[in-house]
Amino acid sequence: MIKLSKTWDIALKALCYIAQKHPERVQIKEIASDQDLSESHLRQIIVDLSHAAMVETKQGRNGWVRLLQNPNQVSIYDIFWAVGEEMWITDCTKDIYCDKKDSCITTNVLWNLQKWFNSLLKLHTLDKIIQK
């Protein structure tokens, strides 16, 4: 079952902030201060976003971060994967073995919901989020 974590929330807030400044570099401490986020937690998340090639960073006291892609190319789906968030609506759609899978009447419905959910996440990009 999907339950959004604090990590995902911080990643989304940080990336929206960075997207508003794109293509400029932003200091990590500025993001933390303006968005009321834990700077140490934010730094850990920025590492994950960097490994996912979403951002470029410079570590250190005056470290900065900038978006590597245009805000219209970064989706909520991408952010979920970058921070290791689970995106399965149920265990059934997570490909966990179930001996009743072939006879279950809800399997197809759940898989269709999962596909719809993934498509919806891919449609919502940073540029659309920051325009609101």
Check which CATH number belongs to the domain holding 50 and give it.
1.10.10.10
Q: Which domain holds residue 73?
A: 6-86+125-131
Q: Is residue 72 part of a domain?
A: yes
Question: Percent of the chain at pLDDT above 70?
Answer: 94
Query: Is the four-CA dihedral 74, 77, 35, 47 of positive or negative sign?
Result: negative
pLDDT band at residue 77, thresholds of 50, 70 and 90?
A: very high
- Cα distance between residue 61 and residue 130, in whole Å: 28
pTM of the predicted model, to two decimals? 0.85
What mean pLDDT comes out for the span 63-87? 92
What mean pLDDT comes out for the span 46-62? 91
pLDDT tops 60 at residue 125: yes
pLDDT tops 70 at residue 92: yes
Q: Is residue 97 part of a domain?
A: no
CA distances to 92, 130, 132 from 13, rounded to whole Å, are: 30, 10, 13
Q: Residue 1: what pLDDT?
A: 53
Q: How many domains is the chain built from?
A: 1
| Average per-residue pLDDT for the chain | 89
